[in-house]
Amino acid sequence: MSCPDGSCKEPAKRSRALIMLGLMMLVFIALSGISFVKTRGQVTPDTVSFATHNAIDGKRIFQAYNCMGCHTMVGNGAYFAPDLTKEYANAGPAWLAAFLPSAGGWPTEGALKTQLLNKDIAADAGVTTIADYYKKYPGAKERVERRGGKSSYMPNLPFSTDEVGKLIAFLKYTSEMNTEGWPPEIKSGNLEKRIELAHGPSAPAATATATPVAPVEMTPAAHGKQLATDMGCMACHATDGKRLVGPAWNGIYNSQVKLADGSTVIADDAYLTESIMQPGAKTVESYPKGTMPAYGTLMTDDDVKAIVAYIKTLK
């Protein structure tokens, strides 16, 4: 553009625009450099592990099962299921170890106690008792009390013991990430009001004084059924013939069970008792070894006999 009278301001505007562009580039380069500075305290997956498993392998498992198809991570993904970014920090390794292999049912307190017997889980959690675990991971206590033993919307996925460990390592890593406040915490009214809107009003509390009822003594089978529910057994063993994490219980008593080594055994009282107390002694064909923890230190001999009595009734 020509300006014969000397009044043209285009060169000065162009110079200012180039200067601003240069400043913006410098800011961009500086911020990019700062994002790689270790002093920001950002954790990397290669530095996080659970037992012998590392978070990098856990991320691969997370992606292979397309978990983002239902869940979100740092607010990204599908919104059908909860955000998993802080799942480890909220519920801890024992809850995850109890839930992931049998996700169709919510873990019970008995299931968490069983997982704490695993030295790797206890070491990672830094506690050995369920009371201390609840103090460190209050989200686990809330979930057990509200949903323990009930069915969930998540299907039972064929996670191996190794894959579960890797997923715990990955979720431990995401919990340690500095998300810098993202996603924002949702605060919309009190919890009771939101539950009422989602599920309807709860039943009104009884005002009349209930007449005391004499306790009814339970049969061994009924006691066994209650124990199986409380200990989370029904999350892995079906009573209707369905294949879950472990073999179905109905019709198993006195039947021939084929083992992983090719031999067969009669599922009598001795076999069922051993399978509860020392599940690693004999592995059923087509089921992974080492998935079920030993209940020998959590149950008395009478408790085990009661569960066996319950299994006998499942024709």
Q: What is the 3-state secondary structure (H, E, C) of 126-141?
A: CCCCHHHHHHHCHHHH
Q: What are the extents of the domains in the chain?
A: 45-176, 220-312
Q: Which pLDDT does position 70 carry in this prediction? A: 92
User: H-helix or E-strand containing 77?
Assistant: strand 76-77
Q: Which pLDDT does position 279 carry in this prediction? A: 86
Q: Could you read off the pLDDT of 42-59 as tens digits, one per residue?
A: 788 999 999 999 999 999
In this predicted structure, the answer to whether residue 259 has a pLDDT above a threshold of 80 is: yes
The token duo for 307 is 């569960």
Same fold, 45-176 and 220-312: yes
Strand, helix or coil at 265?
A: strand
- Tell me which CATH homologous superfamily contains domain 220-312: Cytochrome c-like domain (1.10.760.10)
The amino acid at 85? T
Least trusted range by pLDDT, from 24-28, 121-125, 153-157, 172-176? 153-157
The token duo for 61 is 């498992």
Q: Which CATH class is domain 45-176?
A: mainly alpha
Q: What angle do CA 75, 56, 127 make, to 5 degrees?
A: 85
Q: Which pLDDT does position 42 carry in this prediction? A: 77
158 to 51, 169, 260: CA distances (angstroms): 21, 18, 18
Phi and psi at 54, nearest 5°, equal -115, 160
User: H-helix or E-strand containing 49?
Assistant: strand 49-50
Least trusted range by pLDDT, from 3-17, 66-80, 102-116, 282-296? 3-17
Q: Which pLDDT does position 186 carry in this prediction? A: 58
Higher pLDDT, residue 185 or 205:
185
Quote the pTM value. 0.67
Q: Which pLDDT does position 94 carry in this prediction? A: 96
Q: Which pLDDT does position 251 carry in this prediction? A: 92
Instruction: Note whether 76 and 188 are within 8 A (CB).
Output: no
